[in-house]
């Protein structure tokens, strides 16, 4: 049976673009889209410019050669590439256990006490500290004191400086990732007699591996391109790495040093190193997005 009203018309349900509110909505949507495009354009232009300038001078040989002396042609960025990987690995060794452990404490064991609030506040403050401050801090703590077997500038000092920058991201993502784990999993494990520690390690932590891994990858991507902390800690070396307690080259510092030189060969290598560094950071960010999307599925 169909009911109808003499005063009802289906045309009243149709959208009318000519109405003032619909015109205003379309205008505001277009304005928001314009601002979003303007916000993204600098990133697109910077990445495109670096990729265009860098790929034109890229060749397989630059990954296996040392930088040339000032004024000479040829050479490569092999030592800087290895140095970047070494410093990043050292920073992960320091930052990942501490960051993940801190996030586990905040999410599972703190129970909202004052100390946990202080740690969260300190983490938020540390996330906004300029990277050069981390470099100065490690310089005063490690480099100037020569605490590592009498050595000053070293890969370990550079890794510590990057670890300071990675900590806030890892702690916050671990804390938030553990909060996403359903409470029923904890109750189930506790109900069969598991302790809080066993529940956290065997049940909760494996369920939150994906968001934690995403945070670690993002932290690495954020720290891999830093220059100022490494100038104060790892310094630079034109030779192949001689150990983790010696100065070594990194790509960000190589770019800084060579870009300000008046020699075409060094400027060319700076563009090539910029291309490689941008591709590495883009790759890590894409990998982090993939991990996040995989976890949501």
Query: In percent, how much of the chain has pLDDT > 70?
Result: 93
Residue given tokens 């800087």 in the structure block: 80
- Please check whether residue 280 lies inside any domain of the structure: no
Confidence of residue 5 (pLDDT cuts 50, 70, 90): low
Domain count, the chain: 1
Please give the residue range of the domain that contains residue 91: 80-250
Q: Rounded mean pLDDT of 157-172?
A: 93
* Segment 111-156, tens digit of pLDDT: 778 888 898 999 999 988 899 999 999 999 999 998 888 888 999 9
The count of other CB atoms within 10 Å of the CB of residue 188 is: 13
- Please check whether residue 267 lies inside any domain of the structure: no
H or E element: which one contains 260? Answer: none
CATH of the domain at 235: 1.10.3720.10
8 A C-beta contact, residue 277 and residue 224 = yes
Q: How far, in Å, CA of 91 to CA of 221, rounded?
A: 12
Q: How far, in Å, CA of 87 to CA of 226, rounded?
A: 11
pTM over 0.95: no
- Please check whether residue 124 lies inside any domain of the structure: yes
- Please check whether residue 141 lies inside any domain of the structure: yes
Q: Return mean pLDDT, the chain.
A: 86
Q: Which of 4-8, 20-24, 47-51, 72-76 has the lowest mean pLDDT?
A: 4-8
- Please check whether residue 200 lies inside any domain of the structure: yes
- 143: nearest Cα among 234, 240, 253: 234
- Please check whether residue 240 lies inside any domain of the structure: yes
Tokens of 89: 């690995």
Beta-bridge partner residues of 148? 151
8 A C-beta contact, residue 233 and residue 139 = yes
Query: What's the residue count for the chain?
Result: 297
- Please check whether residue 205 lies inside any domain of the structure: yes
> Cα(first)–Cα(last) distance of the chain, in Å?
44
- Please check whether residue 192 lies inside any domain of the structure: yes
């Amino acid at each position: 049976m169909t009911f109808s009203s003499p005063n009802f018309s289906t045309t009243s349900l149709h959208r009318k673009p000519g109405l003032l509110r619909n015109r205003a909505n379309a205008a505001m949507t277009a304005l928001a889209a314009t601002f979003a495009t303007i916000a993204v354009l600098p990133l697109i232009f910077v990445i495109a410019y670096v990729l265009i300038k860098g790929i034109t001078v890229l060749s397989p040989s630059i990954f296996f050669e040392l930088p040339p002396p000032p004024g000479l042609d040829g050479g490569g960025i092999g030592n800087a590439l290895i140095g970047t990987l070494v410093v990043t690995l050292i920073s992960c060794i320091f930052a990942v256990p501490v960051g993940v452990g801190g996030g586990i404490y905040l999410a599972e064991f703190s129970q909202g006490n004052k100390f946990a609030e202080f740690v969260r506040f300190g983490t938020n403050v540390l996330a906004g500290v300029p990277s050069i401050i981390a470099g100065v801090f490690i310089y005063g703590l490690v480099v100037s004191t020569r605490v590592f077997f009498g050595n000053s500038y070293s890969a370990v000092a550079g890794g510590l400086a990057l670890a300071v920058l990675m900590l806030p991201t890892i702690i916050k993502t671990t804390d938030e990732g553990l909060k996403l784990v359903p409470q029923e999993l904890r109750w189930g494990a506790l109900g069969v007699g598991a302790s809080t520690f066993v529940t956290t390690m065997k049940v909760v932590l494996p369920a939150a591996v994906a968001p934690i891994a995403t945070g670690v990858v993002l932290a690495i991507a954020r720290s891999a391109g830093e220059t100022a902390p490494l100038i104060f800690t790892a310094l630079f070396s034109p030779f192949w790495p001689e150990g983790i307690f010696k100065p070594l080259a990194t790509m960000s510092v190589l770019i800084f040093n060579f870009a300000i030189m008046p020699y075409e060969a060094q400027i060319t290598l700076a563009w090539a190193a910029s291309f490689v560094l941008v591709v590495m950071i883009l790759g890590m960010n894409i990998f982090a997005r993939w991990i996040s999307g995989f976890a949501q599925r």
